[in-house]
Structure 1
Amino acid sequence: MAASDWATKDFYKVLGVKKDATQDEIKKAYRKLARDNHPDSNPGNKAAEERFKGVSEAYAVLSSADKRKEYDEQRSMFGQFRGGGGPTGFGGRGAPQDFDVSDLFGGLFGGGGRGRSRRPQPRKGDDLETEATITFEQAVDGATLPLRMTSDEACTNCHGTGAKPGTTPQVCPKCQGSGSQTGAAGGLFAMTEPCDECRGRGLIVEHPCDICWGSGRAPSSRTLNVKVPAGVKDGQRIRLKGKGGKGDNAGPNGDLFLVVHVEPHRLFGRKGDHLTITVPVTFDEAALGAQIQVPTLDGPPVRIKIPAGTPTGRTFRASGKGAVTKAGGRGDLLVTVEVQVPAELSDEERAAIEALREARGAGSPRDGLFEAVT
């Protein structure tokens, strides 16, 4: 494969996905192509074997968020170079100078200048995201949740080598394990590119692992005990550093992002660090005043004094009966009263209300209201 072919190689096209494809779409495409073109399923079929190598190579880059980002950036950079020429001494005025394309792609493939061997670079693991639904009480008080996670990590069957157990990968005889090769392109450029024999790995896998098909990575499941802090809100995104995908070549692990969904409560609501509740009161309690008991979320009920003449919708405060704050204290419980009007009246109740009407006289709380808008 020529150096210019490598520089313009479209990994997205190899896997048959769009440039903005999700990781799930990339993984699904790779698995299908790997199964269809696996050497064990196509004995003696060199074309299928080459396609298998190609899709493995493409997946190795696109399955990693960091590698994919670098690939996109460097491919775009090379495309600009091809389209618009280069700086002075690089297709401009003056004598032609050698250009090592590994300066563009070195970060992605671990290559250096001419004569330098390829060294695997540490890679941060993929950032992962998951969701969890918790109860209202857990959101207020905090909780520890067991999360079942599935991600691509080093294959446990081959321990990341890509080779079938009992066999080992061999050092590539063409690049002697460097993973790169250098050649000339038309006498103008010195181009360093991944070895076309080992696809840049520096190793040859003669007997691919039956689980990962030679890629060295496979889905892995694990259970994490994640502490959700008290006071978490519905839809909040929590970052758990180092709990994401495993890093490559001694690189750091990625991060895990947990999106929390909080189930609504039958009685209580949230307003910042405060809890809210609406309680019904009778007409006589609101008119004459009363003391009522109000439930709390995780303790005994509190008594609220309702003054005489309390209107519907008025809110009272019970200090320290709300949600846990970041400082470790508690907010308040905000109690809103709602005056209940009976749908049906007994004869005695009707007679009492009619007597109240007569005692109040002909006055109305709407007197003068309409004159104010005429």
Structure 2
Amino acid sequence: MSTSEGVRPDWATKDFYQVLGVPKDASAADIKKAYRTLARENHPDSNPGDSPDSRAKHARFKEVAEAYDVVGDPDKRTKYDEVRAAYASGGFGFPRGGYDAGQGGFDVSDLFGDRARSGGGLGDMFGDLFGGGRARTSAQPRARRGADVETTATIGFTEALEGVTISLRLTSDAPCPDCSGTGGKPGTTPHICTECEGAGFVVVSTGGAFSMNETCPACGGRQLVYDQPCPTCQGSGRGMSARTIQARIPAGVKDGQKIRLKGKGAAGESGGPAGDLFVTVKVRPHRTFGRKGDNLTLDVPVSFDEAALGAEIKVPTLTGTPVTLKLPAGTPNGRTFRVRGKGARRNDGTVGDLLATVEVQVPAVLDPAAREAVEAYRRATSGSRLRANLFGDAGS
């Protein structure tokens, strides 16, 4: 609201300094600092999703933004302070010390809106006092951010490492296609909601000097109402939208990781921004390779003689070009060899490693020649005591 529009009815019952947590005589710099801190903590981008805590943060953000819009502007702050002073002292016909809408039948908006036009009312008085003419209520509905949307996408192992663009078919809440989200029958003209005087919210007393804003039950926060509701959405202004979008999954994404795509969620209302899309990525396993952080893993079968005598063996890489591993004589089962630069790509452009783990294979069946050779090996090593340490402390 610009300063030329004068004061708003609900200013009299709201303590914007308390909302921002600053004293009434706070400097402009202190007010700005308090606003930035609270806005950062409660901004929808810092609290995504639709959980109760997130919704509370979003509501708190709106309160903080509204408070700063008034007391953060020198012109509006002067007007606000004068209205609050008049309200607290009972001046201009305000009840002293606050009001109770359920007891006295007093409504602050009566003093400002159309219902006071016949006698001039405080709308004219404050408008003339502050140079704004008659206090006006904008007929422009308040912009609303679209809802966040969540979905799941399954991609291949190699696609997760290299990045991929995928098509996603989404079905989400959206403005009704027939009434464009207004809730009114196409071709009909709306009028300002008489319940909230076009503010989109109503002030509800919580007892004593405290009050709070609630979404107007008559217009649902749209500020405008239609006498004839849209037959398609029954006046809700909402419908379902099916669409296909292209989503870029970055290189190096991990199984179960959630990717945020800004502005790809449900469409906003009345020119508001779209919500965000959160994609939970599922990665199909590879038949040969595994993954450990930024490194790829590979189990390499080797024969007994290769492990015992040493050997040079070729192993595959994800790029298709094999590399050679040099196994030293006496390589134990389970030893892991590192092949640098053959793993997953990191966010900084560097590449992880390939971790190749040796698995010594024991043949299930031996032909006569192999059996004779193994028996000869047994005779040659019969003096070794591999399990001697198992019994060293058995009798203690």
Fold equivalence (TM over 0.5): yes
Match for residue 289 of structure 1 among 297, 310, 313 = 310
Q: CA deviation at 1:201?
A: 4.4
Q: CA deviation at 1:176?
A: 11
**CA separation of 1:128 and 1:371: change in aligned 2, threshold 3 A:** same
Q: Is the 8 A contact 2:181 2:269 kept in 1?
A: no
For residue 137 of structure 1, give the secondary structure of its aligned residue in structure 2.
Answer: helix
Partner of 2:292: 271
Q: CA deviation at 1:249?
A: 3.0
Q: CA deviation at 1:219?
A: 0.7
- Render the CA deviation track for 1:107-130: whole Å, top value 9, x for unaligned: xxxx99954636643322212211
For residue 388 of structure 2, give the secondary structure of its aligned residue in structure 1.
Answer: coil
1:182, 1:266 → 2: CA distance?
61
Partner of 1:257: 278
- Render the CA deviation track for 1:288-343: whole Å, top value 9, x for unaligned: 11111111112212111111111110111112111111111211111001000011
Q: Scaled by the length of structure 1, what TM-score is found?
A: 0.64
1:254, 1:287 → 2: CA distance?
62
Match for residue 333 of structure 2 among 279, 303, 312 = 312
Match for residue 246 of structure 2 among 202, 225, 228 = 225
1:288, 1:255 → 2: CA distance?
59
- Render the CA deviation track for 1:230-253: whole Å, top value 9, x for unaligned: 111111111122222222333332
The CA RMSD measured in Å over matched residues stands at: 3.9
Q: 5+ unaligned residues in a row in structure 1: which ranges?
A: 1-61, 75-88, 102-110
- Render the CA deviation track for 1:205-230: whole Å, top value 9, x for unaligned: 34433321222211112222111111
1:124, 1:181 → 2: CA distance?
17
Partner of 1:28: none
1:314, 1:113 → 2: CA distance?
84
Partner of 1:97: 97
2:110, 2:313 → 1: CA distance?
78
- Render the CA deviation track for 1:53-79: whole Å, top value 9, x for unaligned: xxxxxxxxx9xx7599649x99xxxxx
The residue identity in structure 2 corresponding to 1:289 is G
1:177, 1:153 → 2: CA distance?
26
Q: CA deviation at 1:363?
A: 1.3
Q: Matched residue pairs, number?
A: 281
Q: Is the 8 A contact 1:155 1:218 kept in 2?
A: yes
Q: CA deviation at 1:172?
A: 5.1
**CA separation of 1:197 and 1:252: change in aligned 2, threshold 3 A:** closer
Partner of 2:264: 243
2:388, 2:218 → 1: CA distance?
95
**CA separation of 1:289 and 1:149: change in aligned 2, threshold 3 A:** same
1:281, 1:226 → 2: CA distance?
43
Listed as ranges, the matches of 1:1-374 within 5 Å are 66=55, 70=59, 96-99=96-99, 114-115=112-113, 117=137, 120-165=141-186, 167-171=187-191, 178=198, 201-372=222-393, 374=396
1:151, 1:122 → 2: CA distance?
19
Q: Is the 8 A contact 1:179 1:199 kept in 2?
A: no
The residue identity in structure 1 corresponding to 2:379 is E
Q: Is the 8 A contact 1:292 1:304 kept in 2?
A: yes
Q: CA deviation at 1:164?
A: 3.5
Q: Is the 8 A contact 1:143 1:230 kept in 2?
A: yes
1:239, 1:194 → 2: CA distance?
29
The residue identity in structure 2 corresponding to 1:171 is H
Q: Is the 8 A contact 1:155 1:212 kept in 2?
A: yes
Q: 5+ unaligned residues in a row in structure 2: which ranges?
A: 1-50, 64-87, 90-94, 102-108, 114-134
For residue 138 of structure 1, give the secondary structure of its aligned residue in structure 2.
Answer: helix
The residue identity in structure 2 corresponding to 1:231 is G
Q: CA deviation at 1:354?
A: 0.6
The residue identity in structure 2 corresponding to 1:325 is R
**CA separation of 1:221 and 1:100: change in aligned 2, threshold 3 A:** farther
**CA separation of 1:237 and 1:133: change in aligned 2, threshold 3 A:** same
